[in-house]
Amino acid sequence: MTRLLHLLYCELMPTKKPIKRAATKTVHRKKISVKRSKTNFKPILFFSFLSLGVVLLALVAYQFSNKTSNAIAGVNANPTPFFFGSGVHPENYYLEPVNQYGSTPRTLEDFERWNRSAKAASLTMLRGGIRYEFIATSSESENWDWTAQDAYTNGLVTHGIEPLMLLLGYPTWLTGPNVANATQAQKDQFIAEYGKFAGLFADRYKNSVTYYEIWNEPTLTFFWNWNKTDFARLLAEASYQIKLVDPTAKVMFDVHALDHMINPSLPYTGQGTFMVQVLNSTVPISNGTSVQVIDSVDILAPHSYPDRTNDIPEDMLGGRFQMSYFYDYMDGYLKSKYGTVRGKKQYISTETGWSSRATGSYSGRWVSEEKQGALLVRSALNLMSTQHVKGFIQYDLQDDGTSTNNYEHWYGMTRFNPDSSGNLIPKATHTATKTLIQALDGTSFVSKTIETKTADKKVYLYFFANSDGSKKVWAVVLANALTPLGVINIATTYSTTIQTTSPTITLMRLDGTTQQLAAPNNLLTLTVNEKPVFIVETSIASQLPTPTPTSSTTTSSSPTDTPTPIDPTSLTSTPLNPTATLTPVPTATPTPTTPPQQSASFIQITNPQDGARLTGAISVIAGPTSTYTNNTQKIKIYIDGALKKDCNYATNSCSYYWTPTTGTHTIYATGYDKANPSNFTTSSTITVTR
């Protein structure tokens, strides 16, 4: 704009008489000057253009200020992508028709079915890979068979799906970790050869693949029958070889049942401590140096199966843990042990699932297909509420079979048998996942509110928004700890009130249907059950989902469904029950109260320190004093008077990942006595600045 005005000025305003010019030119200027003295419009034109420019600048400034005035504090305008994905089994391409694990051979046509189904559900990542032994058919790498892996990788790239490659397997010409009594020489050879395989794999696909998962569930002897040090060496060597050819690659490994590390009273505690011990190991690699494994890993990828302990995502282990708590716990632990730089890792939950069918000894683990979808969406929402998790992988994309006595066959988002056109048949989970992804598209997590209705029933309200505030989404669900498995309990409902900024919003249900709703006075009272709903408010017409015609603005609930045997040969897709009853009521939004200060506090802020000057994001950590370790029922963290984190049934630590805005902030925490939950104390308030 400044350049434009300068050009206009030079063109329109009278110029001074040249000092050293030819006489003819000087005379010529004088003649023109005389004519202008009578009717010189150039100054008028210049100031007219100047006024117009000022008006345009003012309009731009107004639009910018109007846009940014709705900005949501703490939301990054360019957030790190969150991966929604699922798992597949391309390795089964090499299976014989009859397999001891009940799996079924796959074909290249199956690869294409997976990709089409993943895109239809709006998934952005698929986890899998051809097993090591099917590629490395001999010790001579020039003879290896990459045919199926090439087809699998190229299909993902063609469909715009991020590959998460799982590197797993035991070549027949090596003694692998499936052999418990392997000699040290055999172990050394396998680790070296596996590292070579990982490096050649990364070199071949470095233009298509970024994410690598080293092995699968090494805490289970079924997959890894050697010790922790052996696995630490394998992980470090594979990471070294991968990054030697692709420094941008991201390496991860998974640990089964991380939850058992946090609650030692549960079985399999060793599975949780396995990860801690592996990360702390210092092991040699093939370049002649030694590395600590914490520096070889970019991402941690726990597996969590709440179905195996009769839990729900918001209420784990019978101790009121949320799934997100495990990730916050690990983040705080690693940063306290290795520092905020080395200890800062991202997390992708690479397996979480519920089986939708099983009888016999596994009948207590199954849920209805409708509830399978609801629980997986709730798991994703709960994990997104911690800023450490960057991806959620559902297990699995396709059912593995149709045996009613094998619960492993029923974890899929789609049925085992395709339809007559060769496409996978979606289960309720497939549609629910698509609804989740579309509802949250373009937004980032902002806050989570928990309303306790009874000891076992809480309403969770997750708030998402984009950086300029033009799209806001509330995901709302009732967590009922009394009905973790089986079928959806839609008879038990509670209401909550949402404060919107628009009198018109859109309701999105898990079955994909939508409904336009009015929110008089920008208040919406929502009656919810165990199926999440999404309330979408946007000022951009293109972001609004297309409404599904409904007969009225109020939906009705159906009775609680009852478990009935399912005939696998007659399974068909059926619509879900309505999700919520909505009644707009202009009521005031409750304001959180600040707990009173009490003396003799047994809770304290351990990070940051009082008076600290912050330069970026940190983990705010609160815990009991040394004399009160293991005697705290729960901890709450408050920043600037607002509740930011509720670590329900936390014992020794509560962590909140926080990106402070510029200015001065106050932080304090409250701790609740395990022996007497009504007895709580408040920590000293600390002050920090940025």
- Cis before 608? omega within 30: yes
Q: What is the pLDDT of residue 121?
A: 97
> CA 28, 34, 40, 43 torsion: positive or negative?
positive
Q: What is the pLDDT of residue 56?
A: 60
Tell me which residue has tokens 């010409």.
Answer: 173
Centre a 10 Å sphere on the Cβ of residue 266 and count the other Cβ atoms it contains: 17
DSSP string, 602-643: -EEEEES-TT-B--S-EEEEEEE-GGGTT-EEEEEEEETTEE
The enclosing H or E element of 450 equals: strand 444-454
Centre a 10 Å sphere on the Cβ of residue 522 and count the other Cβ atoms it contains: 17
| Half-sphere exposure (Cβ direction) of 639: Cα atoms closer than 13 Å | 23
| Half-sphere exposure (Cβ direction) of 61: Cα atoms closer than 13 Å | 6
Distance CA 50, CA 47 (A): 5
DSSP string, 641-673: TEEEEEETT-SS-EEEEE-PPSSEEEEEEEEEE
Distance CA 543, CA 521 (A): 23
Name the β-bridge partners of 321. 316
133 within 8 A of 171, measured Cβ to Cβ: yes
Q: What is the pLDDT of residue 139?
A: 94
Distance CA 510, CA 490 (A): 14
578 within 8 A of 558, measured Cβ to Cβ: yes
Residue type, 655: S
242 within 8 A of 198, measured Cβ to Cβ: yes
532 within 8 A of 374, measured Cβ to Cβ: yes
**Which residues of the chain form CATH 2.60.40.10?**
603-689
Angle at alpha carbon of residue 392, lines to 228 and 478, rounded to 5°? 120
Give helix 228-245 / helix 184-205 axis angle, nearest 10°: 30
Residue 225 burial class via C-beta count within 10 angstroms: exposed 0-12, middle 13-18, buried 19 and up: middle
Distance CA 490, CA 496 (A): 16
Q: How many helices (H) and strands (E) does the chain have?
A: 13, 28
Domain 603-689: give its CATH code. 2.60.40.10
Distance CA 8, CA 45 (A): 9
Name the β-bridge partners of 445. 464
Check: CATH 1.20.58 for 455-582? Answer: no
Q: In the chain, which residues have pLDDT < 50? A: 2-5, 7-9, 11-39, 62, 64-69, 98-101, 268-269, 541-542, 547, 549-599, 649-650
300 within 8 A of 278, measured Cβ to Cβ: no
Q: What is the pLDDT of residue 431?
A: 97
Tell me which residue has tokens 């070579």.
Answer: 196
639 within 8 A of 661, measured Cβ to Cβ: no
